[in-house]
Amino acid sequence: MTNMTEEHLRQACEQGDFAMLLASIPYAQLIGVECTRQGDELLFRLPANKDNIGNPLLPAIHGGVIAGFMELSAAVHLLIATRATGVPKIIDFSLDYLRAGQFRDTYAKCQVWRQGRRVANVAITAWQETEAEPIATARAHFKIPAPSRPTDT
């Protein structure tokens, strides 16, 4: 992420407008990731985009794009949930592809399973037609940035 400040993150969370946050992430812009709040949950959306197709015969979304979308969703979810002052760093990512990602909008939701002071575990589910029929599920472990300490003046 580039030029992300604690103030930008605070504003995005208060206003429920995460476009500014996602605009600071080049890969999010490249694949077209969007984020909205639905009640207490964040919903991530990957709009159908011909540039994200991996198999033009089906057509199906490239598996790497699905993985990148899910990992990015988990990192942004954790960033927003923890109000971290820095970007969570991925430690481990495990993905299960369940069915082909067709050429249509794809959605993802995340859930923080466990969060310590320095590490967090996040579960991610991606689907297209209905949430009950996921196209992929994943688990991600992140290192959470240490809180910034005030400087002595």
Assign residue 139 the CATH number of its domain: 3.10.129.10
Q: Which residues contact 130 (CB under 8 A, 6 or more apart)?
A: none
**pLDDT value for 147:** 62
Per-residue pLDDT averaged across 94-110, rounded?
A: 97
Residue type, 82: T
The tokens of 14 are what? 């208060």
What is the model's pTM? 0.88
In a domain, residue 152? The reply is no
In a domain, residue 153? The reply is no
In a domain, residue 151? The reply is no
pLDDT of 13 above 90: no
In a domain, residue 20? The reply is yes
Structural domain total, the chain: 1
